Amino acid sequence: MPIIHVHLIEGRSIEQKRAMVEKVTQAVCETVNVTPEHVKIIMHDMAKHDYATAGVLKSDEQK
C-alpha cells in the first residue's frame, strides 16, 4: 500500500520510466517490508515553466 507520487521535469522516455518504477519498487520493498504488488507509483511530468526554485521558473534558468 505504499502510494508514491513522482514529479519529474518532462522529457524522460518510457524506457527511463520503466527502469525507474522497477528499481524504485525494489528499493521500497527491500527497506519497508512490503510486497511489490502493493507498491503503486504515479508519475507526473512537469513542463519547465511549471516548476520553480528560488522564485525562478526552470524554463528561465541560465544554463
CB of 56 to a copy of itself, least distance (A): 7
Sign (positive or negative) of CA dihedral 16, 22, 23, 28? positive
Dist. CA 52–CA 26, nearest whole Å = 30
User: Any contact of residue 53 with a copy of itself (CB under 8 A)?
Assistant: yes
Nearer to a copy of itself, 37 or 63 (CB): 37
Dist. CA 37–CA 59, nearest whole Å = 37
> Considering only residues 5-34, where is the footprint of a copy of itself by CB under 8 A?
5-9, 12, 14, 16-28, 30-33
Q: Which residues are catalytic?
A: 2
